[in-house]
Amino acid sequence: MNIIKAINRTRIKDIAQKANVSIGTVDRVIHNRGEVSNATRDRILRIIDEMEYQPNLMASTLASKKTFSFALLLPEPISPESYWNKPMVGVRRAFQEIQQYGININIHLFKQSDANTFNTEAGKIIDSNPEGVVLAPFFSRESKEFISELKKRAIPYVFIDSNIKDSDKLSYIGQNSFQSGTLAAKLLDFSVPENSSILVLHFAKERDNMNHLVQREKGFYEYFNTNLSSGKKKLITLEISDPTDIACQNQITDQLKSNPEIKGIFVTNSQVYYLARLIEGTNISGIRVIGHDLINENIDFLKKGIVDFLICQRPEEQGYKAIITLFEHLVLKKEVNNENYTSIDIITKENLDYYK
Amino acid sequence: MNIIKAINRTRIKDIAQKANVSIGTVDRVIHNRGEVSNATRDRILRIIDEMEYQPNLMASTLASKKTFSFALLLPEPISPESYWNKPMVGVRRAFQEIQQYGININIHLFKQSDANTFNTEAGKIIDSNPEGVVLAPFFSRESKEFISELKKRAIPYVFIDSNIKDSDKLSYIGQNSFQSGTLAAKLLDFSVPENSSILVLHFAKERDNMNHLVQREKGFYEYFNTNLSSGKKKLITLEISDPTDIACQNQITDQLKSNPEIKGIFVTNSQVYYLARLIEGTNISGIRVIGHDLINENIDFLKKGIVDFLICQRPEEQGYKAIITLFEHLVLKKEVNNENYTSIDIITKENLDYYK
DNA sequence: ACTTTTTCCGTGTTCGTACACGACAAAAAG
DNA sequence: CTTTTTGTCGTGTACGAACACGGAAAAAGT
């Protein structure tokens, strides 16, 4: 049983013959390079339609020495193991796959603490005049300036990680943070006994995209508001400015001691490992802990059983998808999705080894 | 910042010049087509090594009119919505991506109830003499015969869904059922109160690969054996031969009524929807239900909140990966993983919409 | 009516690789 | 010593599309 019989590449020659014109004329029409009279153009187009002509991409890229250059504008990873290395892995994989099509990728990094570096790098990108751009619109105002410049030059851009509404983007690749918060809530709700409390922990120092954290928390609360049967549970929110500070750590342990009915903790960002270290150091037990992102520190505590769940949004895939989206749009000239939410994955000790 | 500067394709011409031979001789060496004296071959090979030559795949496939044909041998889907349609989706996607490289895919289906159909189709595949084969080794004995024939002809084969050990396979793409059972156990353990019982349901009629079901159950029990803290929970196993039969249905409801402490149910295969229908019809509530596979019937009950978790193994991806593995091995001549476990995903009402 | 410009179209070459064909020499067979 | 076979190697063309170049025809300008 055949899905499709063979490669579809009915000959241009046939078309040229049928339309009674030269081969050159036919490909002028195909690449609408003008220089063809409307009469013959229409005639040829009709014939092409009939024959379901589909150009051979390999021959095409081979013949055209045209190269594409994509520019990336992402936050600089704060450490070799931190979150923003992950999208880069996906970018590299995508590059390996499509480099033979003449695609070049330039990575520009900005400091999350300094909007000026964003502007500098954005300027460099504009100067290099790439065919497409992938950016994390970390700084809202600066990003808007940047994309208005891109729009002026008709350079398509893809958002990664966070979104800007009504921005004529080519695509958004990222997570739905609200929904991920809801999911975390459900897991904790299921995992702790009735009549217990849940602690929501905000490690606010890392400004690793604040909006996400807010959305996650909203989703989390939303769950408990709509699921009245779980309403018996009390939620306590705590903001920790600096998890490395001992005073702040005491803040957490005090909270746990004074509220022994706390049976679940939700950490809104990737830094659940700070909490896990704290718990490991004391003899507190029986508390379900849920955090985000599969970074090495968290993996260790997941294996030890101190962290029970990690919610993960496939950052590698986001990087990969962003590049591939540009590629599909520019080279393959395919339609691409305007919004592309990556899946929200639940990682436990049990399925960790098989997560990719 | 550039990852890699450009496409690596240092000219053959340069090599030829350096080695003081003709271009023809150089590519004879590259494609080791014999017809070259050992002396010059060695000289050229050394120069190639120095220059890190890498052939252009596009030009290569363009020039060689060689086509590859891959054969698939999979169980026939029992209905348009059933499990075995999913791998097919992935196969189609893979085909779309690689068909331009001259790859043709032939799908052969056998009946899960009839080993003879397996043999017939296997024979057809042997006759068609494909370059590579993907098969689900559903019938152990018949599969072994088939692969010994393939081995004789040096046709590489990839197992999908289930594995045969020590079989010189190119690769195995599939799930780790045992681990998926462990995961299910953890989720149920977390979700039900202490001192309650858990019902393990085997819908044994669908022979949709029995070995998987056994493995899942083993993993499930394993979890409760090793996690002694959860040992307070009692496990009850029930085998239902025909879930459409009313007597069998009563068997389940009786069990639930006589054991009101049952607060969690684990269905070992994809047919959790039978149980969900039963629960929906009665006024039983407060029972956590976990099943497998994201088929349409199950999705409905997941949304309704009757089924709480579905464990899913990305069957589409399995189909996709199987084809791509053959492609990478035969066309790209890359190293491929001998075993490739797909990830074990947890789906709930909350993350369902984002699952791909 | 003439030149100049514009529009239209056919031919030829190129991209990087594969491979057929034939040339020539050396080795084997007659 | 001739004929046949085998082993080496160079050249030329093809794959399917892109595009430069230049010629012919049509339109515009004088």
DSSP bridge partners of B309: B290
Sorted by sequence, the CB contacts under 8 Å of residue A312 that are 6+ apart come out as A292, A293, A294, A344, A345, A346, A347, A355
Predicted pLDDT of residue A256: 85
Q: Do residue B100 and residue A58 have CB atoms under 8 angstroms apart?
A: yes
Is residue A70 within 8 Å of residue A134, measured between CB atoms? yes
Q: Does B69 touch chain A (CB under 8 A)?
A: no
Sorted by sequence, the CB contacts under 8 Å of residue A254 that are 6+ apart come out as none
d(CA B268, CA B218): 11
Distance C13 C1' – A39 CA (angstroms):
29
Domain with CATH 1.10.260.40 in chain A: 1-51
Predicted pLDDT of residue A122: 96
Nearest chain B alpha carbon to A332 = B97
Q: Does B308 touch chain A (CB under 8 A)?
A: yes
Q: Does B62 touch chain A (CB under 8 A)?
A: yes
Q: Enter the DSSP assignment of A283.
A: -
Q: Can you say how many angstroms the Cα of residue A65 is from the centroid of all Cα atoms in its chain? A: 31
d(CA A169, CA A158): 6
Task: Give the helix/strand (H/E) hosting A197.
Answer: strand A197-203
Is A57 near strand C, with its CB below 7 A from some atom of it?
no
CB nearest B344 (choices: A179, A343, A351): A351
If you search the block for the tokens 């507190």, which residue do you land on?
A284
Distance C23 C1' – A151 CA (angstroms):
62
Q: Do residue B2 and residue A105 have CB atoms under 8 angstroms apart?
A: yes
Residue in B100, B133, B327, B7 with CA at minimum distance from that of residue A102 = B7
Predicted pLDDT of residue B52: 74
Q: Does B89 touch chain A (CB under 8 A)?
A: no
Is residue A251 within 8 Å of residue A236, measured between CB atoms? no
Nearest chain A alpha carbon to B65 = A7
d(CA A183, CA A203): 20
Which residues does chain A have within 8 Å of residue B74's beta carbon, measured at their own beta carbons? none
- Closest CA-bearing residue to C1' of C13: A63
Instruction: Please tell me the CATH code under which domain B177-312 is placed.
Output: 3.40.50.2300
Predicted pLDDT of residue B259: 87
Detail the DSSP E strand segments found in A214-344. 234-240, 262-267, 288-292, 309-312, 339-341
Q: How far B154 CA lies from chain A's nearest CA (Å)?
A: 23
**CATH 1.10.1200.10 is held by the domain B12-55:** no
CB contacts < 8 A (A, B): 133
Q: Does A295 touch chain B (CB under 8 A)?
A: no
Structure tokens at A335: 């339609």
Q: What number of residues does chain A have?
A: 356
Nucleotides of D under 7 A from a protein CB: 7-12, 14-20
Domain with CATH 1.10.260.40 in chain B: 12-55
Mutate to test the interface with B, among A1, A2, A3 (most CBs of B within 10 A): A3
Domain with CATH 3.40.50.2300 in chain A: 68-174+315-343, 177-312
Residue A50 one-letter amino acid: E
The bridge status of strand A234-240 relative to strand A262-267 is: unpaired
Domain with CATH 3.40.50.2300 in chain B: 68-174+315-342, 177-312
User: B274: left (phi > 0), else alpha (psi -120 to 50), else beta?
Assistant: alpha
Is residue B83 within 8 Å of residue B293, measured between CB atoms? yes
Q: Do residue B308 and residue A190 have CB atoms under 8 angstroms apart?
A: yes
Detail the DSSP E strand segments found in A15-170. 68-75, 103-110, 132-135, 157-161
Nearest chain B alpha carbon to A193 = B193
d(CA A232, CA B258): 29
Nearest chain B alpha carbon to A60 = B58
Predicted pLDDT of residue B7: 45
Q: How far A194 CA lies from chain B's nearest CA (Å)?
A: 9
Predicted pLDDT of residue B129: 93
Instruction: Please tell me the CATH code under which domain A1-51 is placed.
Output: 1.10.260.40
Q: How far B51 CA lies from chain A's nearest CA (Å)?
A: 18
Distance D4 C1' – B39 CA (angstroms):
27
If you search the block for the tokens 């789906």, which residue do you land on?
B347
What ranges in A197-271 are assigned the alpha helix state H? 210-226, 246-258
Distance C11 C1' – B53 CA (angstroms):
35
If you search the block for the tokens 């052939």, which residue do you land on?
B55
CB count in 10 Å sphere of residue A214? 15
Distance D18 C1' – A56 CA (angstroms):
12
| Average pLDDT for runs of 10 along chain B of length 356 | 47 71 76 72 77 81 88 91 90 91 92 92 95 92 94 95 90 94 94 88 66 87 80 79 81 86 91 90 87 92 94 94 95 92 95 90
d(CA B11, CA B42): 18
If you search the block for the tokens 């990728």, which residue do you land on?
A105
What is the number of alpha carbons within 13 Å of residue B251 lying toward its C-beta? 17
Distance D19 C1' – A63 CA (angstroms):
9
Instruction: Please tell me the CATH code under which domain B68-174+315-342 is placed.
Output: 3.40.50.2300
Among the four given CATH numbers 3.40.50.300, 3.40.50.2300, 3.40.50.1110, 3.40.30.10, the one describing domain A68-174+315-343: 3.40.50.2300
Is A34 near strand C, with its CB below 7 A from some atom of it?
yes
- Closest CA-bearing residue to C1' of D10: B22
Residues of chain A with pLDDT under 50: 1, 3-9, 207-208
d(CA A97, CA A104): 12
